[in-house]
Amino acid sequence: MPYADLRICLLKGATVKDYSKALCDISCRIWDYAELKFNEKNSAEELAGLLEQEGFEVTRGIAGMETAFTAKWGTGKPVIGFLGEYDALSGLSQEAGVTEKKVRPGTGNGHGCGHNLLGSAAAGAALMLRDYLKESGRPGTVMFFGCPGEEGGSGKTYMARDGVFDGLDCALTWHPGGGNAVITGAFMANCQVYYRFRGRSAHAAAAPHLGRSALDAVELMDVGVNYMREHMEPTDRIHYAILDTGGTSPNVVQNHAEVLYLIRSTDTEKVKALYERVCNIARGAALMTETKVEILFDKAVSSTLSNAVLEDVLYQSMKKVPLPEYTAEELDFAKAIKDSYKDIDPAGDLSISFLPNRERRRCAALYRESPMMDFVIEHHHLDVFVPGSSDVGDASRVVPTAQFVAATFTPGTPGHSWQMVAQGKSSIAMKGMLYAAKVLAEAGKQLIEDPELLKKAKEEFIETTEGKPYLCPIPKHIKPHRDVEELKKFSEQEGAK
């Protein structure tokens, strides 16, 4: 599917440079690399290299992460930041451009969240806003933040902890999705924790009295947490995955077992309180089974703080920038993809979840009928709870932040699915990515031209944070890590102190 005819030219009067081919090529290459959290060496370098080549001052390896970087152009105020991600997910190997599940040879990973598009569009916005500043001669600084490890790594949380976002006047970002809408409300705070039980193995028939089962401990812990659910707030969420059952032989008393918990609530303080309760249940399970439990705090994010002023700036930009148009061939592809998840209601798409009921019902019908969404959802700023989490939350607690979703996939495409990977390199995805780049750049332009907007956004930020400083939800001794073995090192060092 060709995309060479897509052009970026929104900034009237600016020396228009067409970055569309470079951005599409980079998005496709990042899709190909499909690198996991904190291993995104090639992906980060694609974006850092492009910006450096274009005259941005690039600083690599920030906040203790090899694949995190900043790129800066310009001087003075305002300082506008764009946040970009580029990590993939494991277990999602999938061919591009096909309408059935088909493993891509040579990799187990895939871009199941569209982050191959996310980083490119944000970098494109930085380039276009730079062109605007150059052309207009206005003062201002454009910054791009290469944010690794969004999927289970909390990259931005470490960046916020290290003061990387300090000094920004605002941060803007987006996420690939099934429709075009400004995101409002608050995504949840969370923390993720490993509970590793150790018991004593024994022959399950000959000497069961000598064994102490770690697997029993995991089961009792899960039962305990499930009983606790009645006594949680309706907006709390707890999920778990048993990572180690101790073995595959039922005739052995399992001496090791492990369960990973993800604990969510509406703010970090509530997550902390829930975490303590879950830890007590784990200790109780260990006591009951005469096993030992090791608790390893993995990662955490803060809830997002929305900003009505910036949301409106994004909304105006979304309406101003022309939406992509689709060819018959693209719509046929979209229809076939949509047919592959017939049992999922497209009306569950995040982009319409913020709407009042009546408007939501009207949009839901369109989402069910049409293969692609080619309109912008009416925006209403709301203080609603959004059942999900993002490390954008930590950026939003340091600097006024807003984000939107743009249609790069068919409506209702399930998150982290093969369908999302399959669509990630399509011309539909590229059109959505370029639209997002333009919207971000246009929003940046509005903020530079009307300093009142940033002043109001800042006032709103101070009011909602009550002037309190940012507190990182990740304990100090925990550093960015790729897996539990790396994490263990930090915990052991802390224990040795």
Closest separation in Å from C-beta 407 to Zn ion: 15
Closest separation in Å from C-beta 302 to Zn ion: 17
Opening angle at CA 76, ends 70 and 82, nearest 5: 35
113 in Cβ contact with 420 (< 8 Å):
yes
Stretch that binds Zn ion, among 107-115, 128-136, 230-238, 285-293 (CB under 5 A): 107-115
Stretch that binds Zn ion, among 30-38, 112-120, 230-238, 437-445 (CB under 5 A): 112-120
Closest separation in Å from C-beta 115 to Zn ion: 6
| 3-state DSSP assignment of residue 258 | strand
Q: Which one, 113 or 285, has the nearer CB to Zn ion?
A: 113
**What is 190-224 written as a DSSP string?**
EEEEEEEEE-B--BTTT-GGG-B-HHHHHHHHHHH
Closest residue to Zn ion using C-beta atoms: 113
Closest separation in Å from C-beta 150 to Zn ion: 6
Closest separation in Å from C-beta 88 to Zn ion: 10
Closest separation in Å from C-beta 416 to Zn ion: 8
Q: Which one, 47 or 129, has the nearer CB to Zn ion?
A: 47
Stretch that binds Zn ion, among 35-43, 113-121, 435-443, 449-457 (CB under 5 A): 113-121
Instruction: Report residue 130: phi and psi, to 5°.
Output: -60, -45
Q: In 3D, which of 285, 8, 279, 249 has the Cα closest to residue 128?
A: 8
Structure token pair of residue 331: 């719509």
Q: Which one, 38 or 490, has the nearer CB to Zn ion?
A: 38
Stretch that binds Zn ion, among 31-39, 105-113, 164-172, 327-335 (CB under 5 A): 105-113
Q: Which one, 389 or 427, has the nearer CB to Zn ion?
A: 389
Instruction: Draw the binding track, 321-360, toward Zn ion (x: CB under 5 A; -: no contact).
Output: ----------------------------------------
Residue 421 to residue 96: CA distance in whole angstroms: 7
Q: Which one, 113 or 443, has the nearer CB to Zn ion?
A: 113
Which residue is associated with the tokens 């019902």? Answer: 361
Q: Which one, 56 or 144, has the nearer CB to Zn ion?
A: 144
Closest separation in Å from C-beta 175 to Zn ion: 6
Give residues 204-243 in contact with Zn ion (rule: CB under 5 A): none
The number of residues that bind Zn ion (CB under 5 A) is 1
Long-range pairs, 204-209, Cβ under 8 A, ≥24: 204/250, 204/251, 204/252, 204/253, 205/251, 208/253
Is 376 near Zn ion (CB under 5 A)?
A: no
The two counts, helices (H) then strands (E), for the chain are 14, 15
Stretch that binds Zn ion, among 10-18, 109-117, 463-471, 473-481 (CB under 5 A): 109-117
Residue 122 to residue 439: CA distance in whole angstroms: 10
Closest separation in Å from C-beta 171 to Zn ion: 16
Q: Which one, 149 or 346, has the nearer CB to Zn ion?
A: 149
- Name the pairing type of β-strands 292-301 and 256-265: unpaired
Residue 26 to residue 20: CA distance in whole angstroms: 10
462 in Cβ contact with 47 (< 8 Å):
no
168 in Cβ contact with 59 (< 8 Å):
no
Q: Which of 8, 88, 113, 215 binds Zn ion (CB under 5 A)?
A: 113
Stretch that binds Zn ion, among 66-74, 111-119, 160-168, 467-475 (CB under 5 A): 111-119
Torsion sign over Cα 487, 492, 495, 497? negative
Closest separation in Å from C-beta 187 to Zn ion: 11
Instruction: Draw the binding track, 73-102, toward Zn ion (x: CB under 5 A; -: no contact).
Output: ------------------------------
Q: Which one, 124 or 155, has the nearer CB to Zn ion?
A: 155
Instruction: Report residue 206: phi and psi, to 5°.
Output: -75, -40
- Name the pairing type of β-strands 140-147 and 385-386: unpaired
Stretch that binds Zn ion, among 110-118, 197-205, 222-230, 335-343 (CB under 5 A): 110-118
For the sheet with 292-301, list strands across it: 237-244, 256-265, 189-198, 292-301
Q: Which one, 113 or 350, has the nearer CB to Zn ion?
A: 113
Residue 494 to residue 490: CA distance in whole angstroms: 6
Stretch that binds Zn ion, among 59-67, 108-116, 277-285, 290-298 (CB under 5 A): 108-116
Residue 25 to residue 23: CA distance in whole angstroms: 5
Which residue is associated with the tokens 């987006």? Answer: 174
Closest separation in Å from C-beta 229 to Zn ion: 27
Which residue ranges make up the site for Zn ion (CB under 5 A)?
113
